[in-house]
Structure 1
Amino acid sequence: MRRFGEAIVRGQAYRPRPGAYAVLMRAGQVLITHQSRPHPEFQLPGGGIDPGEGALQALHREVFEETGWSIGAARRLGAYRRFAYMPEYDRWAEKICTVFLARPVLRRGPPSEPGHSAVWLAPEEAIDLLASAGDRHFLAQVLRGGAV
């Protein structure tokens, strides 16, 4: 599995943290989320898969929480991993990120996750703003037609 992001800290124990994330395209724009804390950054909507939850179930839940949108037609694009410190959980994690291409179907309200806002952007602008190299890689793959 391809790895993106920070170098592994020698001697640091990392706990696996699987997650599901989405590239959301509609009318030539991409829907991403801005997370204001713990560090302000733009991300593909998504997040951790909770115990007893499947990847698609987590994807639907996380996208709704972070954007207020329901989604459909989710299709797996691939996966990557990155090693990071997660200050909100005080945990060093090996994030195993499964990325899907999905279609935003209906805006059901504002994001319910504190500190998140939904942002529609031109895909080229989104690539420049996404904090994660893995997120940028999968969005670029979609734009090249590699996932359509």
Structure 2
Amino acid sequence: MIRRFGEPLVRGQRYGLRHGVYAVLLRGRDVLLTHQAEPDPEFQLPGGGIDPGESPLWALHREVREETGWSITAPRRIGAFRRFVYMPEYDKWAEKLCTIYLARPARRHGPPTEPGHSAIWMPAEAAVPILGNSGDRHFLARVLRTL
């Protein structure tokens, strides 16, 4: 069973399944986050949805590069969680199945290409409480306990 985080289900609402991949990217005790300006400003683990026909690892590499400008190496799956949300950018109610990877940031190629995203390095301990969803907070805190 995959643990659920976040908002409770909206009674009577139908949710479409949305698979996504996200990365915990550490450099020492600093973590690379993405800050998404819209629809609501929030800090997130870099990542996003898997496009049709795309493998999860290919999507992880693509999403991290789009949202941070960095390439990654050695991704390793560390877990998964579900959350039920309304995605205003798609006008869609989604059951997001979020798979989390631990990976190494390899090289900065430039600024993020995803509109409204900024790449932010910060101390990982400071990042835990400001992440925008409880699933991201859980997995970053879990990784920090192993360091």
- State the TM-score bracket (shorter-chain normalisation): over 0.9
Q: How many Å apart are 1:69 and its aligned residue?
A: 0.0
Aligned to 2:124: 123
Aligned to 1:41: 42
Q: How many Å apart are 1:39 and its aligned residue?
A: 0.6
Q: Give the TM-score normalised by structure 2.
A: 0.98
Q: How many Å apart are 1:128 and its aligned residue?
A: 1.4
Paired-residue identity, %:
68
> What stretches of structure 1 move > 2 A for 4+ residues in a row?
none
- Give unmatched runs, 5+ long, in structure 1: none
How many positions carry a matched residue from both structures? Answer: 146
Distance 1:81 1:49 in 2: 15
Distance 2:34 2:63 in 1: 11
Aligned to 1:75: 76
User: Amino acid of the residue matched to residue 78 of structure 1?
Assistant: G
What RMSD over aligned residues (CA atoms) do the two structures have, in Å? 0.7
- Secondary structure at 2:90 match in 1: coil
- Give unmatched runs, 5+ long, in structure 2: none
- Secondary structure at 2:82 match in 1: strand
Q: Give the TM-score normalised by structure 1.
A: 0.97
- 1:40-89 Cα shifts (integer Å, max 9, x gaps): 00000000000000110000000000000000010000100000000000
